[in-house]
Every structure is written in structure tokens, then in C-alpha cells.
């Protein structure tokens, strides 16, 4: 069994550990937990992790967010991973900071990374882990908020949710999407 785990974000130090790069941070935490290492590959940083008889191809696209679909399509094809074994991790403004949502399908909800994937794959029928980042910003400042760093007050909760997201990836691979949804969709995370 082979899985493609794709965390969305933007490359470059100025984007590191911003809200928009939470996908990268979750995938890095998963790879680190399972003693993997990233290498620079075509269109993405790539790590191969083996766990419980399963192989995880973990990618952080180097295409920038709005071209994420190119990297995901390339690695799906190269590794011959079926669409139902793809999990994309993404930030979500519509969800409060204390929420994580897993869905087997669903629209891009205005997210440029998801829009790119949907356009290139020609479907929205793939699993998504949406990491709530909240929307606590003044009107017209969405971009600053999304590309901003977590506040000191937010960091402990973000760390907890990253750990929970790593568990969701493991559940997705061992028990399936329904079990992943049951694990987090109705939970409110707090310290």
C-alpha cells in the first residue's frame, strides 16, 4: 500500500512557519516522527517513509501554492499512487484555530492550492485535511494574516494540532478516511 501525503505551502524562508505553510509543517512533523529525511526532488521536497507495512511518499511542493497541482499530479503518476490514497494538508481560514476537518471530497473553497490541484487532476474527489487557522484579521488584510506567523499565544495550540494531524495521517493509512473523520471532525482542540 502506497500513499501520497502532500502538505501545501510556499518555499522560501519568508514563508516558513506561517499560517499558509501549515501543510508543510504537518508533513515535516510526520516525516520527523517516522525518522525520514527530505531530499530535493522534481517539483517538491520528497521523503519516503515506511510504517506498518505501508509506504508514504511525503511531498512539500516547490512550485508555490497556486501551482501545487503540478507537483501532486507528477508524484501521483511517478509513484503510481491511486487517488483514494492521496491526502492533502492545507490551511483553512473558514475553520477556527481550534478545529481540524478531514473530508473525502469537497470544493477548493477559494484556496489557490486546492484550486490548482482540482484543475490539474480534473476532480475534487481526494481527501483533504483542513487545518483551521481562524480569520482574526481586519477587513482587507487576509493576505497579511495568512502569510503571517503564529502568535505566541497560538503556538501551543498549533503544536498540539500538528501532533493530532500526524495521527490523522496514520489513521488515514491504516483505517481509512471514515476513521480519520471520526477522529477529529467533531473535536474542539484546546490546551
Distance CA 120, CA 137 (A): 31
Distance CA 173, CA 2 (A): 9
Distance CA 90, CA 133 (A): 10
Strands 39-41 and 44-51: antiparallel
CB 93 within 8 A of CB 52: no
The strand order across the sheet containing 2-7 reads 39-41, 44-51, 54-61, 2-7, 86-92, 127-132, 100-103
| Catalytic residue selected from 17, 20, 111, 141 | 20
SS3 at position 182: helix
Strands 100-103 and 127-132: antiparallel
Catalytic-residue membership of 34: no
Catalytic residues: 20
Amino acid at each position: 500500500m502506497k500513499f501520497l501525503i502532500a502538505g501545501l505551502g510556499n518555499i522560501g524562508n519568508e514563508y516558513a512557519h506561517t499560517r499558509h505553510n501549515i501543510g508543510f509543517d504537518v508533513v515535516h512533523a510526520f516525516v520527523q516522527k517516522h525518522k525520514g529525511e527530505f531530499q530535493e526532488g522534481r517539483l517538491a521536497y520528497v521523503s519516503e517513509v515506511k510504517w506498518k507495512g505501508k509506504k508514504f511518499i511525503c511531498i512539500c511542493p516547490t512550485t508555490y501554492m497556486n501551482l501545487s497541482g503540478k507537483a501532486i499530479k507528477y508524484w501521483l503518476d511517478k509513484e503510481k499512487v491511486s487517488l483514494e490514497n492521496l491526502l492533502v494538508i492545507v490551511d483553512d481560514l473558514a475553520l477556527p484555530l481550534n478545529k481540524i476537518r478531514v473530508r473525502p471530497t469537497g470544493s477548493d473553497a477559494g484556496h489557490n492550492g486546492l484550486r490548482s490541484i482540482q484543475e490539474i487532476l480534473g476532480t475534487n474527489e481526494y481527501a483533504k485535511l483542513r487545518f483551521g487557522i481562524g480569520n482574526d484579521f481586519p477587513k482587507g488584510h487576509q493576505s497579511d494574516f495568512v502569510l503571517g506567523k503564529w502568535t505566541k499565544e497560538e503556538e501551543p495550540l498549533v503544536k498540539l494540532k500538528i501532533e493530532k494531524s500526524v495521527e490523522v495521517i496514520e489513521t488515514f493509512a491504516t483505517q481509512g478516511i471514515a476513521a480519520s473523520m471520526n477522529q477529529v471532525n467533531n473535536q474542539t482542540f484546546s490546551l
